Structure 1
Amino acid sequence: MDNYFDLTGKVAVVTGASSGLGADAALAYAKAGADVVLLARRAEKLDTVRVEIEKTGRKAIAQACDVTDEESVKSAIGKILEVFGQIDILLNNAGIAVRGGVDSMTVEEWDKSFDTNVKGIFLVSKYVIPHMKENNYGKIINIASINAVVADKSDLFIRHSYNSSKAAVVGLTRGMAASYAKYGITVNAIGPALFESEMTSGTLFKSEEFLKGYNYSNPTGRPGNRGELNGTILYLSSDASSYVQGQFIIVDGGSSLV
Structure 2
Amino acid sequence: MLVKLKGQTAIITGAASGIGAQTALLFSQEGANVVLVDLNSCSKTLAAIQETRKDAVFLECLGDIRDPEFVSATIARASDKFGELHILVNNAGTCSRLGLDTMTLDMWDRDMETNVKAAFLFIQSVVYPHMIEQKYGRIINISSVSGLNGGVTSGGKKDGRSGPAYSASKGAIIALTKWVAKELGEHGITCNSVAPGATESAITAGVEYDVGGQAIKRIGTPSDIAEAILYFATSESGYTTGQVLKVDGGYSFG
Compute the TM-score of the two structures, normalised by the length of structure 2.
0.92
Structure 2: gaps (5+ residues): none
Deviation at 1:54, TM superposition (A): 2.8
Q: Counterpart in 1 of 2:166?
A: 162
Question: Which amino acid letter does the alignment assign opposite residue 70 of structure 1?
Answer: P
After superposition, the CA RMSD in angstroms is: 1.7
Give the Cα separation in 2 of the matches to 1:110 and 1:230: 27
Q: Counterpart in 2 of 1:32?
A: 30
CA contact (8 A) 1:54 1:60 kept: no
Q: Counterpart in 2 of 1:195?
A: 199
Give the Cα separation in 2 of the matches to 1:10 and 1:108: 38
Q: How does 1:170-189 map to 2 (within 5 A)?
A: 170-189=174-193
Q: What's the CA shift string for 1:98-147, capped at 9, x where partnerless?
A: 11122221111111110000001011111101110010000000000011
Please point out which of 121, 124, 148 is paired with 2:122.
124
Question: Which amino acid letter does the alignment assign opposite residue 249 of structure 2?
Answer: G
Q: Counterpart in 2 of 1:216?
A: 212
Q: Counterpart in 1 of 2:140?
A: 141
Q: What's the CA shift string for 1:204-242, capped at 9, x where partnerless?
A: 1xx3xxx3xx22111111111341112211100001211
Q: Counterpart in 1 of 2:17?
A: 19
Question: Which amino acid letter does the alignment assign opposite residue 169 of structure 1?
Answer: I
Aligned residues: 246
Runs (4+) off by over 4 Å: none
Q: Secondary structure at the match of 1:6?
A: coil
**More displaced, 78-87 or 168-177?**
78-87
Q: Residue 121 and residue 97 in structure 1: after superposition, are their counterparts in 2 closer, same or farther (change >3 A)?
A: same
Give the Cα separation in 2 of the matches to 1:98 and 1:29: 29
Give the Cα separation in 2 of the matches to 1:67 and 1:225: 24
Q: Counterpart in 1 of 2:243?
A: 247
Give the Cα separation in 2 of the matches to 1:11 and 1:135: 13
Q: What's the CA shift string for 1:79-100, capped at 9, x where partnerless?
A: 1111111210000001011111
Give the Cα separation in 1 of the matches to 2:121 and 2:112: 12
Question: Which amino acid letter does the alignment assign opposite residue 132 of structure 2?
Answer: K
CA contact (8 A) 1:65 1:76 kept: no
Question: Which amino acid letter does the alignment assign opposite residue 205 of structure 2?
Answer: S
Higher share of residues assigned helix:
1
Deviation at 1:51, TM superposition (A): 2.8
State the identity %: 35
Please point out which of 63, 67, 70 is paired with 1:69.
67
Compute the TM-score of the two structures, normalised by the length of structure 1.
0.91
Deviation at 1:48, TM superposition (A): 2.4
Q: How does 1:77-92 map to 2 (within 5 A)?
A: 77-92=75-90
Question: Which amino acid letter does the alignment assign opposite residue 230 of structure 2?
Answer: L
Give the Cα separation in 2 of the matches to 1:226 and 1:79: 27
